Amino acid sequence: MKLPLLLLGTAVAASSAMAAPRGFTVEDLVKMERVGSPVLSPDATRVVYTVRSTNLDKNRGNTQLWMLDLRAPKAAPVRLTQADASSSDPEWSPAGDAVYFLSARSGSSQVWRLPLAGGEAAKVTDLPLDVDNFRLSPRGDRLALSLAVFRDCADLACTKARLDAKAKDKASGKVYDKLFVRHWDTWADGRNNVLYSAPIDASGKVSAQPVSLSGALDGDVPSKPFGDHDEYHFSPDGKTVVFSARIAGKTEAWSTNFDVYTVPAAGGAPTNLTADNPAWDTKAIYSPDGKTLAYLAMARPTFEADRFHLVLLDVATGKKRTVADGWDRSIADYRWTPDGKALLAVADDVGQHPLFRIDAASGKVDKLTGAGYVSGFDVARDTVVMAQTSLASGAQLYKFKLGGDAAQAARLTDVNAAALADVKFGEYEQFSFAGANGETVYGHVMKPWDAKPGVKYPIAFLVHGGPQGSFGNSWSYRWNPQVYAGAGYATVFIDFHGSTGYGQKFTDSISGDWGGKPLEDLKKGLAAAVQKFPWLDRERSCALGASYGGFMMNWIEGNWSDGFKCIVNHDGVFDTRGMAYATEELWFTEWENGGAYYDVPAQHEKFNPALQVKQWKTPMLVVQGDLDFRIPTTQGLGTFTALQRQGVPSKLLVFPDENHWVLKPANSLLWHHTVIDWLDSYLKR
């Protein structure tokens, strides 16, 4: 096997270097190479990571593995895989002499092993079904892997045969007797994600039938729709697997009761470790010595945006204790340090997403990084490698030493440098103001790329979704302020009441008040921004939002009808009653409105945009993904009908093959250009 030394975006052509500066474009965004999370070798001398490129002709992305030698200063990244099919989910062998990964290069998704001393990648699994995700045991002698199967099948061949038979059946009807009948963008077909275990034989392959670890439980491991191998881990000795699962039964669509289970790696009955907590428990990881099990836990059932706090469980005694309970942040991801004395974690924090160190004994929390968004990280021995983004940069890798100054982390990659060599990004700044109840609220502003002193610029006023989320100092491939800056717009975006990273009380404050404090924050935030930044032209402004942000666009139509020249509503809630009965994850609408619609209809109707249609007058572009089962197509059609029936200028952009997000490259280009053209027609022409 040849390992060509291909530099990722470090060479800049002379013509590009001499080119005049230009703004960031939609095409730039779609074509960017995207760096994934780093995975350190056991001896911390090398790091493997993924890079996703985009093929516009094929209208899809392609992900491959790259490696950096950390021992050599300014080492060139080495591309490890070059297949037409993507390669992902890299894991190091215990000896650090090979990398395991997932790829469908043979026609189905299987586990492969690439020896780093030379030679081609070899298939480790050759199963009749796709391997969705996997983990290698610390001893390298076993895989834990997840497969989608019919749980009443005795083996994998049965599931394959049943799928083949369904494909030949001319009748298309399906019968259901419980929710979820559909989830995110997929109709249920009767299969569950089941966690299996399989030994690796002397030849380096899995030749035996995998043994089910979670099949006795009525649930998915990992969870749908976005769960991955972070929801299960081996113990350090490789003898035990810990995983999280939610029992489905008839209540899955309105339950967030995930529990942490352990099971012998070779097979056996799972043991529930968190039955005492009816809320969400997940992402359990053993300490390096195997004596302590850490996991993330919420306290309130059915609330998906409750604070994830850290719990440590003594494996020998079963005793649990909460760590850093006074630290009012919700942990998104974490890792043990190699000495087992601390845990590294990331969490939203006042418009940033830094890396923190949590002392396991005392619970003392130290912030390690500053501005920016740490999107992934790994730690081995005394080395930390992290992927970090900002409002001016896609993910790049950085390295620092444990106990050292993370603010001085060494940059390891410069992906997209050549492609964006002549791009001038819009300058941005965080600001604060007194919002609802006089409480401090934060937001960001961004200038157009070519901003000049004394000139006012039209405003794209962006409202984030969630609603329990944050529109902070991070890079996005869907809602990216730099695209608007490149098109000549100033942008303003506010972390209104309900946003994450400002304490759980602030996050909680939006539930039951969707159209109250958040709207007040948006009004006051835009006014404060215009007063503070004289280059903002308030008279030329349009509002844009998706999901909850789309709801807010509909709410603005009836409650801030003179606020904007135009509106863009992507997959937004129009009718709260229809939403309550048609969305798939019922726990969300029921928590946000204080119960099921049939129990508390007034609560659901309190902020129902459909009741205020007579006040609508602002021109609106409506965008809807037809595979969006979170906020179904009828919501977008209802919005468009309300506008058209009253003669309000409006357009409808529908994507038959997209879900709650616009993901396909060609669709992303169309989406962005349609949106910017809508803004141009009201703010520039």
Total number of domains in the chain? 3
CA dist 183 to 139, 306, 471, 582, Å? 37, 21, 25, 11
* Residue matched to tokens 């087992």: 340
Same domain, 102 and 134: no
Please give the pLDDT value at position 458.
98
193 domain residue, yes or no: yes
357: left (phi over 0), alpha (psi -120 to 50) or beta: beta
359 domain residue, yes or no: no
Active site residue 152: no
Rounded CA-CA distance 48/63 in Å is: 13
Same domain, 441 and 416: no
Among residues 233, 444, 660, 672, the one annotated as catalytic is 660
Cis peptide before 534 (omega within 30 of 0): no
Last residue of a domain, one of 271, 294, 323: 271
pLDDT in tens, 382-433: 999 999 999 999 999 999 999 999 989 999 999 999 999 999 999 999 999 9
Same domain, 614 and 502: yes
397 domain residue, yes or no: yes
Domain range for residue 130?
126-166+179-271
Active site residue 497: no
Instruction: Give yes or no for a contact between 327 and 365, defined as CB atoms under 8 angstroms apart.
Output: yes
Share of the chain above pLDDT 90, in %: 96
Averaged pLDDT, 614-639: 98
Please give the pLDDT value at position 19.
79
Rounded CA-CA distance 531/195 in Å is: 56
Rounded CA-CA distance 514/497 in Å is: 9
| Distance of alpha carbon 451 from the chain centroid | 32
Rounded CA-CA distance 414/573 in Å is: 40
The residue among 653, 633, 659 whose CA lies nearest residue 578 is 633
Please give the pLDDT value at position 233.
98
Rounded CA-CA distance 366/348 in Å is: 14
Same domain, 455 and 432: yes
Look up the CATH number of the domain holding residue 537. 3.40.50.1820
| Cα Rg of the chain, angstroms | 25
Name the pLDDT band for 7 (thresholds 50, 70, 90): very low
Please give the pLDDT value at position 83.
80
326 domain residue, yes or no: no
Please give the pLDDT value at position 6.
35
Q: Is the pLDDT of residue 324 over 80?
A: yes
18 domain residue, yes or no: yes
Instruction: Give yes or no for a contact between 407 and 369, defined as CB atoms under 8 angstroms apart.
Output: yes
Averaged pLDDT, 219-245: 98
| H-helix or E-strand spanning residue 674 | helix 665-683
Instruction: Give yes or no for a contact between 436 and 497, defined as CB atoms under 8 angstroms apart.
Output: yes
Q: What DSSP line would sit under 467-497, residue for residue?
A: SS----S---SSS-HHHHHHTT-EEEEEE-T
Q: Is the pLDDT of residue 16 over 70?
A: no
Count of Cβ atoms closer than 10 Å to residue 385 Cβ: 26
pLDDT in tens, 328-370: 999 999 999 999 999 999 999 999 999 999 999 999 999 999 9
Please give the pLDDT value at position 15.
42
Rounded to the nearest 10°, the torsion over CA 69, 70, 73, 75 is: 30
Active site residue 660: yes
Instruction: Give yes or no for a contact between 488 and 455, defined as CB atoms under 8 angstroms apart.
Output: no
Name the pLDDT band for 18 (thresholds 50, 70, 90): low
Instruction: Give yes or no for a contact between 127 and 156, defined as CB atoms under 8 angstroms apart.
Output: yes
171 domain residue, yes or no: no
Name the pLDDT band for 668 (thresholds 50, 70, 90): very high
Same domain, 573 and 605: yes
Last residue of a domain, one of 423, 441, 456: 423
Same domain, 98 and 206: no
Q: Is the pLDDT of residue 5 over 70?
A: no
Please give the pLDDT value at position 12.
37
Same domain, 405 and 417: yes
Among residues 214, 470, 547, 668, the one annotated as catalytic is 547
The residue among 336, 335, 411, 345 whose CA lies nearest residue 374 is 345
Same domain, 109 and 78: yes
pLDDT in tens, 166-208: 999 999 999 999 999 999 999 999 999 999 999 999 999 998 9
Last residue of a domain, one of 398, 423, 448: 423
**Average pLDDT of the chain?**
96
Same domain, 20 and 59: yes
Same domain, 118 and 247: no
pLDDT in tens, 52-95: 999 999 999 999 999 999 998 888 999 999 889 999 999 999 99
360 domain residue, yes or no: no
Rounded CA-CA distance 495/502 in Å is: 9
Among residues 220, 259, 281, 628, the one annotated as catalytic is 628
pTM: 0.96
Same domain, 532 and 583: yes
Q: Is the pLDDT of residue 676 over 50?
A: yes
337 domain residue, yes or no: no
Instruction: Give yes or no for a contact between 517 and 555, defined as CB atoms under 8 angstroms apart.
Output: no
Same domain, 437 and 385: no
| Distance of alpha carbon 291 from the chain centroid | 31
